[in-house]
């Protein structure tokens, strides 16, 4: 596709409260907005979330990679997914998402298609690590807003106490999943998951660092082990399946390199889509992938809530039109492509 202009804008959104996990503490989320403009003036939006705390490319590198796309007269999916451009996963995700958005907007503009009807996506509540009473109180607030799946970030303090307090707060019918962000060693993971089994945990995401360690832990517990950091490609998913290391996996678009890569992973393992603490464009793209997975026949996959309610964690946005959270469901915007519209004044205020 011929591209007339590439615009790259780094920006940051502040959290309402510090985001605390075993990986560290964040006061704000830095990300990069990408705009691809066609000769007709239509604009496709993409977003990169540099995952430097997880070993990914830093913000400056992602910005440079995306600015380099402006040297090309045209872009297509095959080129962006090839190794020839040497893009980081976050930059590749932004470029592929922007191209997808632009194609969708062009198809509506030329009358070849109408905006697709969007189904709402069930989401889990995301609870940051903290004192058990505080985490339980936050779970109660999410529950009052219609959420019935709760994801707890463990590996920082009183892990069992947090899960126990949340179970007491939300009741026996709620689903609880835990995520240690690979903070536990094998022995700790075995001990913690054994202790958590009576609390009926839905899944344990990335309890240990490697697939080899996950395979060992999986033989010790009845709680399903889910991948995240250890599964970044279809090949990783195939290896995890062959090793019986993971029963399912979470997928972040910026981590795996975009929507198509996410779907390829989900063809191997049951999967749910998680936010990398994305902005409005990344959430909208992830919601479309989540819809695709929910519609596919992957056994119990359609019963899994997706981790895409994280816009609630931010104190502001850069969008005038974006996904909306209502009663535990994420509702994509109705417009063409991703449907997101940028608030230019807000974007300028959050530019870095």
- Give the CA angle between residues 203, 207, 210 to the nearest 5°: 125
Question: pLDDT at position 90, please?
Answer: 97
Instruction: Give per-residue pLDDT as tens, 45-54.
Output: 999 999 876 7
Separation CA 148–CA 311 (nearest Å): 17
pLDDT in tens, 75-86: 999 999 998 889
What is the pTM assigned to this prediction? 0.95
Q: Is the pLDDT of residue 99 over 60?
A: yes
Does 300 have pLDDT greater than 80? no
> Residues with catalytic annotation?
153, 252
pLDDT of 303: 74
User: How far, in Å, CA of 177 to CA of 270, rounded?
Assistant: 15
CB-CB contact of 269 with 241 (8 Å): yes
Confidence of residue 346 (pLDDT cuts 50, 70, 90): very high
Closest of 131, 181, 179, 150 to residue 17, by C-alpha: 131
Q: Can you list the alpha helix ranges (DSSP code H) found in the chain? A: 59-68, 77-81, 89-109, 132-144, 159-170, 186-196, 211-218, 234-243, 253-256, 259-266, 280-295, 344-350
Q: How far apart are CA 11 and CA 190, in angstroms?
A: 40
State the pLDDT at residue 118: 77
Going along the chain from its start, the domains and CATH numbers come out as: 5-114+343-350 (3.30.390.10), 121-341 (3.20.20.120)
pLDDT band at 297 (very low <50, low <70, confident <90, very high): low
Reduced to 3 states, what is the DSSP secondary structure of residue 249?
strand
d(CA 275, CA 175): 19
Report pLDDT digits (tens) over 127-163: 999 999 999 999 999 999 999 999 999 998 899 999 9
Which pLDDT value is given to residue 55?
Answer: 72
pLDDT, tens digit (0-9, with 9 covering 90-100), for 9-29: 999 999 999 999 888 899 999
pLDDT given for residue 238 in this prediction = 98
d(C-alpha 181, C-alpha 309), whole Å? 19
Distance CA 231, CA 238 (A): 9
Instruction: Give the residue-averaged pLDDT of 261-289.
Output: 98
Question: Tens digit of pLDDT for each residue in 163-184?
Answer: 999 999 999 999 999 999 999 9
Q: What is the pLDDT of residue 335?
A: 87
pLDDT of 299 over the 60 cut: no
pLDDT band, residue 187 (cuts 50/70/90): very high
Residue 73 confidence (pLDDT) above 90: no
Give me the pLDDT at residue 209, please. 97
Residue 197 has pLDDT above 60, yes or no: yes
């Amino acid at each position: 596709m011929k591209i007339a202009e590439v615009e790259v804008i780094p920006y940051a959104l502040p959290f309402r409260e510090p985001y605390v996990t075993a990986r560290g503490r964040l006061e704000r989320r830095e990300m990069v907005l990408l705009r691809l403009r066609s000769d007709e003036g239509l604009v496709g939006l993409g977003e990169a979330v540099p995952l430097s705390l997880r070993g990914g490319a830093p913000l400056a590198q992602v910005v440079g990679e995306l600015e380099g796309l402006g040297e090309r007269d045209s872009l297509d999916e095959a080129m962006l997914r090839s190794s020839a451009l040497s893009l980081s996963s976050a930059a590749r995700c932004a470029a592929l998402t922007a191209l997808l958005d632009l194609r969708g907007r062009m198809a509506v503009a030329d009358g070849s298609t109408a905006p697709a009807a969007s189904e709402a996506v069930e989401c889990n509540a995301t609870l940051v690590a903290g004192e058990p009473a505080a985490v339980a109180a936050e779970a109660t607030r999410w529950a009052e807003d219609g959420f019935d799946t709760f994801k707890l970030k463990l590996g920082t303090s009183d892990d069992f106490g947090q899960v126990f307090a949340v179970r007491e707060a939300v009741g026996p019918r709620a689903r609880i999943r835990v995520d240690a962000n690979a903070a536990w060693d094998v022995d700790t993971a075995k001990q913690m998951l054994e202790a958590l089994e009576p609390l009926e945990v839905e899944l344990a995401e990335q309890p240990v660092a490697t697939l080899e360690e996950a395979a060992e832990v999986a033989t010790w517990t009845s709680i399903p082990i889910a991948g995240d950091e250890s599964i970044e490609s279809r090949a990783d998913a195939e290896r995890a399946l062959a090793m019986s290391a993971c029963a399912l996996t979470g997928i972040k678009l910026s981590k795996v390199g975009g929507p198509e890569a996410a779907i390829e992973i989900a063809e191997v393992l049951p999967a749910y889509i998680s936010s990398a603490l994305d902005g409005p464009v990344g959430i909208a793209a992830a919601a479309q992938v989540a819809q695709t997975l929910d519609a596919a026949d992957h056994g119990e996959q359609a019963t899994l809530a997706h981790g895409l309610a994280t816009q609630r964690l931010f104190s502001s946005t850069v969008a005038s039109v974006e996904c909306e959270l209502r009663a535990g469901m994420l509702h994509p915007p109705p417009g063409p492509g991703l449907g997101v519209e940028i608030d230019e004044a807000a974007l300028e205020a959050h530019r870095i």
